Amino acid sequence: PQVYSSLGMVFESMLTEVEGGGAEQGENETEENSQLNHIQRRLELAQKAYASYHIASLLCKRDFVLWERSGDAALKGAQIYSEIIDHMANNPMASWGVSEEAVSTEDTTTRKGFDPNAGPEKWHSDRKLWLEHALAAYQSSDNLRPPGVDVPCKLAQVHMSLGSYIDALSILTDLRNMAGGNSLGGKNGSVRELGRSEMEGSYPCWLLYADLMMKIGYECKHWNE
């Protein structure tokens, strides 16, 4: 598992470096093709990071950190697809400057995972798949009862992204109750406790809870109307 974990860290570092550098335009390359290559490179690195961490997690199933990193890598893939969808919502397909014939004739290994001509329906489907991978990884990590609130909050956030507001509410409500000094039964009858300082000091967790309440309120209002 150490080898695959190290590979995951390398790919993760490369992804951060690529994202920080932005899309570099080659001498004979259009701006659209430069953006396309940049997106594809990011997706490729995210996929490799996820695959590496996922294999490491399977080889060391009791390590919640590996499962969490696997979920982080999968969530990064979903975020990239969200950027693609947002970009194409404000730009026509022609902005890529890539024809279907050109895409079909390229090496499938270099274009695997993203087709600029696939359309929003396929991109939404791919984004959902990445989110489901992240959900499974975070759930495996949370089952190991990691300390702190980071993993449960990440799990709740993915549930929200998938529209499972009730599951997210259950997780965040449990965290809130534990922050209030209550103990909840854990796996195999164990008792899981959370210090007040851990929850009360986690502003992102409270903001996530507030965001969830707003989403549920909006859905209730929309249903009533």
Question: Whole-angstrom Cα distance, residue 42 to residue 17?
Answer: 10
pTM for this entry:
0.80
**Residue 113: per-residue pLDDT:** 60
Q: How far apart are CA 114 and CA 87, in angstroms?
A: 14
**Residue 153 to residue 128: CA distance in whole angstroms:** 19
Sequential pLDDT tens for the chain (225 residues): 899 999 999 999 999 999 887 655 555 555 666 778 888 899 999 999 999 999 999 999 999 999 999 999 999 999 999 998 888 777 655 455 555 544 444 444 344 567 777 888 888 999 999 999 999 999 999 999 998 889 999 999 999 999 999 999 999 988 887 766 555 554 444 445 554 446 667 788 889 999 999 999 998 888 888
Report pLDDT for 134.
97
Residue 73 near residue 56 (C-beta atoms within 8 A): no
Residue 94, pLDDT score? 47
Let me know: does 208 contact 172? Beta carbons within 8 Å: yes
Q: How many CA atoms lie within 13 A of 225 on its CB side?
A: 6
Please report the beta strands in the chain, taking only residues with DSSP state E, as ranges in sequence order. Answer: 184-185, 191-192
pLDDT of amino acid 5: 95
Assess contact for 71 and 138: CB atoms under 8 A: yes
Q: What are the residues facing 192 on neighbouring strands? A: 184
The residue behind tokens 């994202």 is 19
pLDDT at 87: 80
CB 18 within 8 A of CB 80: no
Tokens of 98: 């890539």
Which helix or strand (DSSP H or E) is residue 123 part of? helix 120-143
For 129, the token pair is 């798949």
